[in-house]
Structure 1
């Protein structure tokens, strides 16, 4: 007779099950056996039926009485999630799915957390078990709806922001220089000291046309960008100025009392800091003298770009060049001739070097003339008497810079040379038989500022030599 061999029983892996219970109201919770007790009893019975699979109910009670399922801000729920993250739970059992959450978005987020930590989810009365293929399919469908709900919520938020901005409301974010956020109304309110700095930037740029010059002046005075405190009390200190920050101030229509959304401007609820005339003056200078970063990529400089016109066609002339025999030949071309034919314009093209030298000769003579020096001194004195602007250049510095125009000019960057010419020359009109140069009467501040900075560098190098 053969001896029957008995097989050793295979040890089942223990599945630690947490039972979560919830009741929306507190009605009846004072009873000896209430709804929460009934839910837990049903969960324990289900876990007992799965004992052969190694299931074991944890003794910890996760029950929320009197809490809505619309969110997860529940004490027992938070303890449950903390234990899941701590690796102390393998499965979560509820009486119904809505006991865990009534929000599809929250439910999808909870399922993502469960999956991340290897926790399965079971609904006792709805035959929902993420361990089965049907349960996983149902879960994927629910997750898809959760993603849909997330996108709908994001769309609603974007629509609300757009509608609020169209009404001129401030929708949060980093406050800009010149404004603080009112703690009660959450609207922008003017910071008087910072607003003076903003106005100074606009006025000064209309004079000098250089963001770098303004940044240097502000830094020399110890001025910084916006310093503010976050809601959690963290201090965000201001930073030193640079040219980019100056141009950012100049392009921010918030200072006109407007709000911007996707390129569209709307009247804001806050008070403006600059007037329309101040804005227009600064932007007229900005248009005439584009930023260095936008111009420094030009392979061939054009000193008269933007100010030279054809006298016959009354059209702008653009710079162009040709290369021949290893040399570059630069020209200014009438746009009327390029569009209507070269035989329609007697001017057509002019050599850039010749006409730039002719204009430069006049500029040099003007800058060194006694009349210009006298007018400059009077202008600086008048500004000081008005006490409205900070005058960064003294009379003696202006006179010294103008008298030493020639050596300083040669050391200027081509972009700075163009800025000086653009500040002094309003228009250069080219005719078939001559040249007409129309000068500006208000551009001397920009010239002196540019020459002064370069003169200091020139004198420093001379001393070293």
Structure 2
């Protein structure tokens, strides 16, 4: 059987301004001059890659020696990728197959036609990438203005048509029955002794279900608790996201505690990171809808989830109430408690010693009972420095003036902008920058002192329930001890015989 011509046609979507499969083939047939041919048609497939059934069948026929020439209406019908096109042309040359574009008059049987073809495919990919960039930029611009960008509507909300700055879009409004569950979820999880599992069980006990009657799961509850769409965005929310490395699209002065937040991936975001936990380079935008969860409650739940993820409790946590908090200064690995049949019973061991790093700080034994007693005494000393703690076993957080907090954030932003100009500044500009930074720093210190005085006046003379917990330490079970330790202690670093405790209070 003699090799024949192959007519290839592709159309991704039926559009009024796109050429149909039939018209493509008519152009290709003209190039055959009446010779025998076989048609290969891919309808509904993109040209960004070669994962197309008819294309694959054509390449199989080429390798089988059935094809002598491939004819297309236009080169972007067969490929829009330089890499894919180059690989395809290598196979064509290997099997002595010519390539012809009927409208662009590229014919690889001639040197000039082959050269022009390679140039054109470069511009074809450039055009495709330019279109993709334009779409991405348009998406980023709209998202940064707070427009609804499609996708799943968060549980608790429904869509309502609206017009923002003359543009037709949609806005979230509460769905009463669903929002009742959202408020309950935040209320329950904000309590110190509540876990995701306990919240789930309480929802099930009250007969609540998710959309379409699906039972609640801890993963779904965690997703809701992390979503800032529900939060009333005030300056504390602003400071939280900024501290996590997010891109703050709106100025701090917009965070007045009324609207919710949209959280977008961000143009420069690391796509390899888990978006639900990492906030670096995420775009944070004030949304047009009203927030429903008070900022202090939202932050309490968000920080609790972050802490639980960083030091997730396993069965090993039952061996000590300091599980997940003791770290080795040498290697960074955690100290875990190991049981033995010796008189000591339990002792801390650097987990880095189990790995190939062979930690140098793991050469001495730390008896668990002795170490726990030492930490307990340090906790009592730390508590003695304070007149109060919260009544519900929480970190010390007191409401302070939002005006002062907003102004401090604005000052820090202005100082950052001034410092960015230092490398290009001349002597006169540097004098202005130094003078302005000094003024801003004085104002910032004054505002911070005012916040401290407000906090002291609001809390003077109060005693916290946690003091009683520590006083009755021997009566507590391991879980209660661990909860108290979580409130008071951020981490404990061990470097040889030096113990450093980083406190949360």
Rg bigger for which structure?
1
Q: Where on the TM-score scale, by shorter chain, does this alignment land: which range?
A: 0.3 to 0.5
TM-score by length of 2: 0.42
TM-score by length of 1: 0.45
